[in-house]
Structure 1
Amino acid sequence: MKNALLILTGFWVTLAAQAQEKWSLEQCVEYAVEHNISVKQTDVQARIDKLTLDQSKAALFPTANSQHSLGYQFGRSIDPTSNQFTTNEILFANHSLNVNADLFNWFRKRNTVAANNFTYEASVAKFEKARNDIALNVANAYLAALLSKEQINVATVQVQQSREQRDNVNKQVTAGALPELNLAEMQTQLANDSATLISARADFRLKLLQLQALLNLDAADPFDVLSPPVDSIPVEPLAELDPALVFSSAMINLPQQKINELNVKAAVKNVLVAKAGMYPSFSLFGGLDSRYSNAQKLLPVNYQEGAVPIGFVNINGTNYVVNTLEKVPTGFNKNTYFRQLSNNFSQNLGIGLNIPIFNGNQARTNWKKAKLNVESQELLQEQDAQTLKQDIYQAHTNAVAAIEKYNASRIAAVSAEQAYDFARKRFEVGLLKPIDLITNQNNLFKAKINMLSAQYDYVFKLKLLEFYKGRGIKLHH
């Protein structure tokens, strides 16, 4: 029994430890970078482009192919070893080895390798961009979850205050000092605050689910986040985040700009590849070939002259055989498989010239398309640079507005806190109606929520500028 209690206690301690484990932003980012599906897809594409690059490098070497066939033929056919018509059933085998090497093709293969190399480097940069994008999205979702958690804390305090006020009013109503209407108003306020707290908890759970989706975590898994005070989150002074300076840094550090630059270089090399298709190319070829047929089972080795009948002549009604002297084989060896391969062995070696004359204007069209693709990539590069600059200046403007909004909401929260303190004191001595106290309490709640929202909003906007500057996303020093 004692052992069972120890095991059960250990089980509950383990569950409690798991339930209390909370994720920091750094843990979330590291996990998302490793497990997010979008990041994995870009990694797979980078590996595919690496294989394409390796294959184009291997294409620089000569090609060699060996062909082997074994068959059975019957009916009227040609003996593959003697090239004579026959009706015999024949078992045959063919063997060949062919080699081909490009001598000159206007550097088509070398430019293909260069283009594929730039494409692969662009894919690596896309992988880095996907990692950065998911880090930014995780940071946004993480801060949204922190804000939602802070709203729960504010709503909890609101409920506690409303409950205390309801209990105090209930005592006064019981003593006959206040009418029952005041108690009903306080009970209504407590119910509304409780509903607000329930909504805040549900919103926090939704924020956690959104963050889990980015991390590619099972929605059923227990999950929570660390809650560093928003005041402790380090942010660079706005003066050090000048938009012109941030833009200059972003053009150097952000992967998207590297991607565009590499895509332009790849497109330029592909123009040379397409242009090479319009010019003649030279190649060197060679081959080995041999064959076997069971139609030639015996191979003559000795001959002697002999009379061989070639027809008949009719003289006065009598047929006379007409003979001719030919060498007639008198000795034979078995025409074995390897002997036939040796006797039928042939070789070839030569130089090939391929001249494109007319192919439906395909080569020239491909060349023109490749040049237009360069222009398209250059326009995309310019467009992305303009969009980046606009985004950075817009983010800076939003950050300025967010800081000003936070400062104003902080002053409003302080004023609302003072107003509520005054109202509560007046209410406690019977100089203020419950409905007026409720109004001041609601105003304070809204002011605190607005201040928190503005604070997290300006922190994220400054973090966004830091991200553009190349500092990454961090919530601690």
Structure 2
Amino acid sequence: MRCLICLLLLALVFNPAFAQEKWDLKRCVDYALANNISVKQADVQARFDKLTHDQSILALYPRINSQHSAGFQFGRSIDPTSNQFTTNQILFSNHGLDVGLDLFNWFSKKNTIKANDYLAQASVARLEKAKNDVALNVANAYLAALLNREQINVNKVQVAQSREQFDNIKKQVEAGALPELNEAEAETQYATDSSNLLTAQTNYTLSLLQLKALINLEADAPFDIEVPPVEAIPVEALADLDPVIVYQSALENLPQQKINNLTLKASEKNVAVAKAGLYPSFSFFGGLNSRYSNAQRTIPNSFQTINVPVGTVDVNGVAYPVTSPITQPLGFDKNTYFRQLSNNFSQNVGVGVNIPIFNGGVARTNWQKAKLDVENQQLLKEQDTRTLKQDIYQAHTNAIAAVQKYNATKIAVASAQKAYDFAKKDLMLVCCNQSTLS
């Protein structure tokens, strides 16, 4: 018994709350919105979806790519400039520039841009929802901490009453007015109330830890909450709200409803995107290419024509020589790197058609899946709408019950205070009478 009382006194003396800086609800919510991990993740996802939308817009522009390569060839290979077999070691390089543009693909890119735009807006609404959820969770944890703190005050009063009752009964036992059993029972009640006070203080500490976790504050950081005045809370106005009006306003303004509407629109656009894969698409392409090889070190710069004997013709016993003119290089220039690039420069341009004939049913399956996704999003929207309505009407009913209970409790507290005052006076009279008789 004495150990329990000592523990209670230590808890009261070394309660860390007395030196803490007070945090009100607004400060807790603001800190949570700036530091909560879930909010930061939702913000990252919103920026990610915005980049996806921006990229789908850039997909409308032509694709331009440049390729460059260089290397060595060993052993028997083909000279990339003369297309002849060679066994020499060759240093080569290739350069190219390709251009591509989708001319018509049944508005696939246009619908993709619109779908990504809806998803980006849904991510922004999802970020707003994450902030609302964090604010609501922080408010609930804050109220729970206030309740636990108030429970400490209630238990302190209970301990004080038990102590006072124990002292009075002890005096009566010493005076012989009551048996010692009453003193033992009063002491037991005092110990029980002291234990309940320690439990309440522990629960309050745990609720503060939970609140710090929600706002992403270190567990060992100094922290305590400010107790707002009860008079500042508009309790009576809660029951005056019409749930029908609240429900209609929630459908238009709550982030979750915006998310459902935008996601459904994105799914409908994705159906059009998937259907475009069933039809032919038309594209434009073009390119520039050139190459170099050190196997072609020189090129002729001048030529001469000579007659080369190819045989004889016998005419009347006389052999006349037969010649054939051929052209052969007379002088050579170095075939430099940039000269080869200029001489080997080539261009191409054209139009392509891609006709899907059979690809294992992938395109048609994707189209069917996209339509099923629309149905799924419609069901999710309907489910969330029903849940929202149920929550609003349930919250309205709980609010009315809470107000009524609050008013009834105030009357009960006033009555209990009167009864306690009367009982205290009666007890003092009994003690005085016992002292007089003694």
Q: Establish whether TM, by shorter chain, passes 0.5.
A: yes
Instruction: Tell me the residue number matched to 1:346.
Output: 346
Cα distance in 2 for partners of 1:308, 1:358 equals: 62
Kept after mapping to 1: 8 A contact 2:17/2:224? no
- In the alignment, which residue of structure 1 is the partner of 2:319? none
Give the direction of change, closer, same or farther, for the CA distance of 1:78–1:167 in structure 2 (3 Å limit).
same
**Structure 2: gaps of 5 or more residues:** 1-15, 312-321, 433-438
1:76 Cα deviation from its structure 2 partner: 1.0
State the secondary structure of the residue aligned to 1:241.
Answer: coil
**Aligned-partner SS, 1:283:** strand
CA offsets, 1:161-198, max 9 Å, x none?
A: 32233334445555666554443333222211211111
Please name the residue that 1:52 is paired with. 52
Match of residue 127 from structure 1: 127
Q: Percent identity?
A: 67
Equivalent in the alignment of 1:437: none
Q: Hey, what's the Cα distance between the residues in 1 that align with 2:151 and 2:18?
A: 25
Deviation at 1:410, TM superposition (A): 3.1
Give the aligned residue type for 1:429: L
**One-letter code of the match for 1:185?**
E
SS of residue in 2 equivalent to 1:80: coil
Q: Is the 8 A contact 2:91 2:295 kept in 1?
A: yes
Cα drift, residue 324 of structure 1? 5.8
1:389 Cα deviation from its structure 2 partner: 0.7
Structure 1 residue 34, shift from structure 2 partner = 1.4
Residue 162 of structure 2 contacts residue 189 of structure 2 at CA under 8 Å; is this kept in 1?
yes
In the alignment, which residue of structure 2 is the partner of 1:261? 261
What residue in structure 2 maps to residue 43 of structure 1? 43
1:184 alignment partner in structure 2 = 184
Root-mean-square deviation (CA, aligned residues, Å) is: 2.4
How many Å separate the matches in 2 of 1:70 and 1:236? 82
- Where structure 1 has 5 or more consecutive residues not aligned to the other structure, the ranges are 1-15, 312-321, 433-477
Q: Distance in 2 between matches of 1:296 and 1:215?
A: 73
Q: Secondary structure at the match of 2:22?
A: coil
> For residues 186-245 of structure 1, what are the alpha-carbon distances to aligned partners after superposition, in whole Å with 9 as ceiling and x for unaligned?
322221121111111001011111111111111111110000133322246245311111
Contact map agreement 2:239 2:399 (CA 8 A) in 1: no
User: Equivalent residue for 1:165?
Assistant: 165
TM-score of the aligned structures, taking structure 2 as reference length: 0.87
CA change 1:287–1:211 in 2 (3 A) is same
Cα drift, residue 338 of structure 1: 0.3
Higher mean C-alpha displacement, 175-184 vs 95-104: 175-184
SS of the residue corresponding to residue 427 of structure 2 reads helix
The CA distance in 1 between the partners of 2:416 and 2:118, in whole Å, is: 60
Deviation of 1:430 (Å): 2.3
Q: Partner amino acid for 1:225?
A: I
The equivalent residue for 1:273 is: 273
Residue of structure 2 equivalent to 1:218:
218
Q: Any idea what the Cα deviations from partners look like across 1:134-159, whole Å, max 9, x if unmatched? A: 11111111011111111111111222
CA distance change for structure 1 residues 193 and 310 in 2, over 3 Å: closer, same or farther? farther
Question: Equivalent residue for 1:92?
Answer: 92
Amino acid at match of 2:60: L
The 3 A distance-change label for structure 1 pair 309 and 201 is: farther
What secondary structure is seen at the aligned counterpart in 2 of 1:102?
strand
Which residue matches 2:391? Answer: 391
| Cα separation, 2, equivalents of 1:18 and 1:105 | 71
2:59–2:109 Cα contact (<8 Å) kept: yes
Provide the secondary structure at the position in 2 that maps to 1:43. helix
Counterpart CA distance in 2 for 1:393 and 1:17 is: 38
The separation in 1 between residues aligned to 2:370 and 2:289, in whole angstroms, is: 42
Does the CA contact (< 8 Å) of 2:283 and 2:352 recur in 1?
A: yes
Change in CA separation of 1:177 and 1:326 when aligned onto 2, cut-off 3 Å = same
Paired residues of 2:101 and 2:283 also in contact (CA < 8 A): yes
Match of 2:64, SS state, is strand
- Alignment of 1:429 with 2:429, yes or no, is yes
| Mapped partners of 2:59, 2:73: distance in 1 | 38
Q: Which amino acid aligns with 1:372?
A: L
Query: SS in structure 1 opposite 2:23?
Result: coil
1:69 corresponds in structure 2 to 69
Distance 1:187 1:234 in 2: 42
- The 1:267/1:309 distance shift into structure 2, 3 A limit, reads farther
Residues in 2 aligned to 1:45 and 1:418: alpha-carbon distance in whole angstroms:
60
Contact 2:97 2:287 in 1 (8 A): yes
- Structure 1 match to 2:436: none
Matches within 5 A, 1:279-428: 279-306=279-306, 325-428=325-428
The one-letter code matched in structure 1 to 2:380 is L
- Cα distance change on mapping 1:227 and 1:69 into 2, 3 Å: same
Query: Could you list the per-position Cα deviations for residues 364-409 of structure 1 after superposition, in whole angstroms to 9, with x for gaps in the alignment?
Result: 2211211221122122111111111111111112222222333333
**CA distance in structure 2 between the aligned counterparts of 1:172 and 1:412, rounded to whole angstroms:** 30
In the TM superposition, residue 358 of structure 1 has moved relative to its aligned partner by: 1.4
1:153 aligns with 2:156: no
Give me the whole-angstrom Cα distance separating, in 1, the residues matched to 2:57 and 2:238.
50
Q: Distance in 2 between matches of 1:99 and 1:309?
A: 53
For residues 339 and 408 of structure 1, the distance between their equivalents in structure 2, rounded to whole angstroms, comes to: 100
The alpha-carbon deviation at position 111 of structure 1 amounts to 0.9
